[in-house]
Structure 1
Amino acid sequence: MLTKAGLSAANRAIYLPAISATYADFAKNGRFKRQIASLVPDDLDFLRSGNPYFCYPFGLYSAGQVIRTEAMKPKACMVAQRDRAETIILGDSGGFQVSRGTIEFEKDITARRMLKWMEGVADWSMVLDFPTGGIAAGFMKEHVARLIGEGHDLQAMCKANGQSLDFNACLLQTRINNDQFVAERTHGATGLLNVLQGRNEAESKTWYEAVKHYPFEGIAFAGAHQNHFSLLLRRLVDLHRDGLLHQCDWVHVLGVSTLEIGCLLTKVQRCVREHWGYEHFQISFDSASPFINAAKNGMIVGHMFDEYGWTFRTTNVSTVPAADLPKTVNAFCHAKMARKARSLSRERIAALRPLGNALTMADICPGSSGTSDLDGDSSPLLMHHNVQAFVEAHHRAHEGFFGNESWRIPQDAKIISEMIDILFRGELIPNADGGIDRVPLTDPVRHIDQCEIWLDRLAGQRSRTAAREPDELRYAA
């Protein structure tokens, strides 16, 4: 059984499923309209310790999904009713929805509402940032006009830091929100993560210098930091040099869940702990892909490892052949993964789950008017299955990445891992005795600059998760 203590002790970057509010509500307050084995909705609550089907004590939960007005309060869902001693929830402030107008921005009223909601729900929470991901689509134009109308000199900011009006509007509004969080937070209610945005090195560095002084307990890397390891590593070096990394007990990377990046984040975490001495330094990363796929009738049937890439395999189950309906979910996944030939360097692993032996595909696809269409009970069952499939795939990926089968690791990920290793451990230099000495780098940033093209090789490969996150979600920033 997966436990909070066990996973925390494994010295691994932790995957956080970005839990759907609809799913969280159903697991505690819903009901199945059909008889599905002997299941009740509470069996889908993977945050519940001792759940016989699947227990996973970590997740991300976004205020942007569930709180849009002052009157809204946390629902009595599986997140709000969890055992906080046995689970960890990271709260997302909903900045993506707020900056784009999906949630009306009432300035300090909205910031206060998000802060107090997260203090009541989450162990760790992100400050209310305005993501730079909305700039290209024009979402910041109205905020530029509003801030100028309020008397803020954005032009002076642009002249001082060389960045655009839209970028400085994102930065300024984030700093205003940060100041309010500092003033109005209840200390001890939730640990706050200082969000670092930026689409490139110039923006990332400017943002970091402008917000690094805030007395928060962790860091959340957003924007291009999620898969550009050159940006992530430069900011970690900055935090270390500025003496700020000691206060970062939790570091989160927003909106990425590819198997290679998950393993590389573990590599970074282990290096920081071993070579910089921050023994409590913890990285997490998230995506909503298990829930998004299920909402689109997608079932993750397994994952594939080979030297060219590690990928999830998904099939659309909106209609399933009649011959497959009597099969258990596990048998269906196994058959799907076995249809293509296995090669020496390619391993296909079916998504086999304890619940998959109890459910048939007819339970997932009950049929309607002679077809095998899905109904309202199908979606939460698929979501539960997909979360398990993601968690298990990341576990197996770590076993392969840090085990004895290095030949199976994709070449790009292997090279990035070696470059991270050199950054922290130093270079191997022949000595006068014919041996090899490991010499620390005198200029780590120069090493990052020299390796930037390779460090960023995984950028743009988010589609190799089960699905690309849709534009309207927070994680597209």
Structure 2
Amino acid sequence: MNDKIMAERIDLSKEHKPDWALFLPAVSSFFIAGLGKQRDTTTEDYFPQERIPAGFNGDVERLNFLNSKEGLFTYKWGLYSAGHADLDVTKTIPTESIIRDREEGTFMLGDSGGFQILKCQWPADWKDPNCPRAMKKRIEVLTWMDTYMDYGMCLDIPSQSLSTYHVKDKDGKSVHGIQTIEEAMIATHINNDYFIHNRSGACKFLNVLQGLNHTQSDEWYEQMKMYCDPIKYPDNHFNGWAFGGQNKIDIHLTLKRIVGIIHDGLLEQGKHDLIHCLGTSILEYAVLFSDIQKAVRKYHNPDLQITFDCASPFFGAAKGLAYFNSNMEHNTKWTYSMEKTAENKDFDTDMRKFSDAVIAEGIHEKFADSPITNAMVMKDLCYRGHGFLNKHGKETKTSWDTLSYTLLQAHNVYQHMFAVQEANRQYDSGCVPAMLMNETFESIRFGDLVDEIFSLNDRQKSLDLIDKHSRFWMQIMSGSQGFSGKRSVNAGTMFDQLFTENG
């Protein structure tokens, strides 16, 4: 690697401040597969040397942000899902070496694969404790977590699984067997019981909370909270919480849930030091979670770490989208911006610096470089020119190949990490997004209100204060997932409050 690029390597781990909530990139199996294959010394190079950008000095390991010695940028935290992994721990899996053989000092949170149940990719009757297919997967996931993960989530059944009950197998039966929220809780109990009695202790586990509305979420918590109870399970209780469903995005419910957990004695220092919020990509939530973490640390558990993940950088790249800019101005909507980037066979010999070329060509009006694009020229992304033939002897339809997507994923994930950190820096300096302030009738700042809520040290007083400011929580929007803001008071909630549904 040339001296200029070496000097511009960035260690984002050092840029993270301990009092911020921690972003965990939800690492794509596609992203790590090619890098892992390139490491495999028993086969030929997966990426030929002539294909690797010259700025990488012949080594795609530069894209591995978990490698503090070789990565163009480094970041020591991440999330990886059992649903994407090869769960056979008895075999060497080159495509997963980035995760399995990561360096000491990195941190990986394992997602359990509940999403795969929701998507009908792990067929089984999950509410039947004797279903052999469910038991096989249960054993595989727990073994994989204990072998490779620092923290892991219990194998919950997501609330949204109800929406895919209608998907049938070849025998005409539901692929996962979960029709009601009650059945989702039954199945999660089965999985939790197995995990809590068979875990090795090598991996710490999070108790996942689901529910599509306040009523369902409250019932889920009441049923599942025992798995974090050190009195009931003194040697093997779960070690923290993961907020899924409505819990992670409806801040009214999020705050209410944390207050309840604290006053139930289930957020104790040294016993329950992690809360993870699943799949949260809204930029304002990066600072919102930091405010909550600071307040809980101040008044209850000084070791609490709030983490959150999203896969947007990887999914965006799969659609040809590049992060190119972020907006964090005071009293505005904060955003990361993605748009279609260069994809043209005419650029296969273009030696212009990538960021200069995309602006000159009018592809992007502005473009924020990452350490990845800073080491790239235009042809590194648009590698396949006119007449380029694939392995079947046919001309390719696009100028991109596997490495093109991998390069863009690395660029995107850097920009997302940087944006989260920059948002926290701006927020600490007094720049506040519109979502977290209300000055219509009285000046209200989210951080001040959250501090007051957790300072009260009285469950009912804290809950009353949360309810008092319900209109403020309604202005906090969370994009397209779940019900937030005014939508959190919904027909489903009222139905559950007023009626009992017969089977």
The alignment's TM-score, normalised by the length of structure 2, stands at 0.76
Greater mean alpha carbon deviation, residues 331-340 or residues 173-182: 331-340
User: 1:291, 1:241 → 2: CA distance?
Assistant: 38
Specify every segment of 5 or more residues in structure 2 that has no aligned partner in the other structure, as ranges: 1-9, 39-45, 125-132, 228-236, 388-396, 482-503
Q: Which letter does structure 1 place at the counterpart of 2:313?
A: P
The aligned amino acid for 1:88 is F
| Cα-to-partner distance string for 1:74-110 (whole Å, 9 max, x where unaligned) | 6542111101x32100001101102442023312221
| CA distance in 2 between partners of 1:300 and 1:332 (Å) | 16
| Contact 2:347 2:382 survives alignment (8 Å) | no
Residue 231 of structure 1 deviates from its aligned partner by: 1.1
The alpha-carbon deviation at position 333 of structure 1 amounts to 6.6
* CA deviation vs aligned residue, 1:96-140 (integer Å, no higher than 9, x gap): 102442023312221111011111111000000000022234359
Counterpart in the other structure of 2:276: 252
Matching residue of 2:356: 331
1:126 and 1:193 in contact (8 A); partners too = yes
Q: Is the 8 A contact 1:222 1:253 kept in 2?
A: yes
CA distance in 2 between counterparts of 1:32 and 1:417 reads 54
The match for 2:81 is 62
Distance 1:24 1:256 in 2: 22
- Within 5 Å, give how 1:344-363 maps onto structure 2: 350-363=367-380
Distance across 2 between alignment mates of 1:148 and 1:19: 26
Q: Give the match's secondary structure for 1:89.
A: strand
Q: For residue 211 of structure 1, what is the aligned residue in structure 2?
A: 224
Distance, in Å, in 2 between the alignment partners of 1:27 and 1:457 is 43
- TM-fit CA distance, 1:221: 0.2
**Alpha-carbon distance in structure 1 between the residues aligned to 2:148 and 2:456:** 46
Report the counterpart of residue 380 of structure 1 in structure 2: 406
Q: For 1:65, what is the secondary structure of its paired residue?
A: coil
How many equivalent residue pairs? 422
Q: Could you tell which deviates more after superposition, 167-176 or 23-32?
A: 23-32
Q: How far off is 1:417 after superposition?
A: 7.8
Deviation at 1:315, TM superposition (A): 2.3
Q: Does the 8 Å CA contact 2:87/2:144 hold for their aligned counterparts?
A: no
Match for residue 284 of structure 1? 307
| Aligned match of 2:134 | 107
Q: In the alignment, does 2:18 pair up with 1:18?
A: no
Q: 1:304 to 1:196 in 2, by over 3 A?
A: same
State the partner residue of 1:303: 326
Q: Which amino acid aligns with 1:303?
A: S
SS at match of 1:266: helix
TM, length-normalised to structure 1 = 0.80
Distance in structure 1 (CA, Å) of the matches to 2:166 and 2:93: 28
Residue 32 of structure 1 pairs with residue 47 of structure 2: yes
Cross-structure match for 1:343:
none
* Aligned CA distance change for structure 1 residues 2 and 218 (closer, same or farther; 3 Å): farther
Pick one of 166, 169, 187 that aligns with 1:173: 187
Q: Which amino acid aligns with 1:87?
A: T
Q: Is the 8 A contact 1:318 1:372 kept in 2?
A: no
Aligned residue in 2 for 1:45: 64
Match of 2:99 in 1: 79
Tell me the amino acid that sits aligned with residue 100 of structure 2. A
RMSD across aligned C-alpha pairs, in angstroms? 3.3
Q: Which moves more between the two structures, 363-372 or 29-38?
A: 363-372
1:200 aligns with 2:218: no
Secondary structure of the corresponding residue to residue 295 of structure 2: helix
Secondary structure at 2:437's aligned position in 1? Answer: helix
Q: C-alpha distance in 1, partners of 2:401/2:247?
A: 39
CA 92–272 in structure 1, closer or farther in 2 if over 3 Å, else same: same
Structure 1: state its 5+ residue gaps: 155-164, 341-347, 428-437, 464-477
In the aligned structure 2, how far is the partner of 1:268 from the partner of 1:333? 40
In the alignment, what sits opposite 1:312? 336
Contact 1:126–1:195 under 8 Å retained in 2:
yes
Instruction: Find the aligned partners of 2:67 and 2:360 in 1 and give their Cα distance.
Output: 31
In structure 2, what is the Cα distance between the partners aligned to 1:104 and 1:52? 38
Answer yes or no: is the 8 Å Cα contact 2:297–2:304 preserved in 1: yes
CA–CA distance in structure 2, aligned partners of residues 302 and 28 of structure 1:
30
Query: What's the CA shift for 1:369?
Result: 1.5
Q: What aligned pairs does 1:66-145 form with structure 2 within 5 A after superposition?
A: 66-67=85-86, 75=94, 76-83=96-103, 85-105=104-124, 106-138=133-165
Does 2:250 correspond to 1:228?
Answer: yes
- Structure 1: which 4+ aligned runs deviate by more than 6 Å? 68-73, 145-149, 333-340, 438-442
Partner SS, residue 91 of structure 1: strand
1:301, 1:314 within 8 Å by CA — same for their partners in 2? Answer: yes
AA of the residue aligned to 2:323: I
1:50 to 1:178, Cα distance in 2 relative to 1, 3 A: same
Contact 1:269 1:283 in 2 (8 A): yes
What is the rounded CA distance, in whole Å, between the counterparts of 1:337 and 1:239 in structure 2? 52
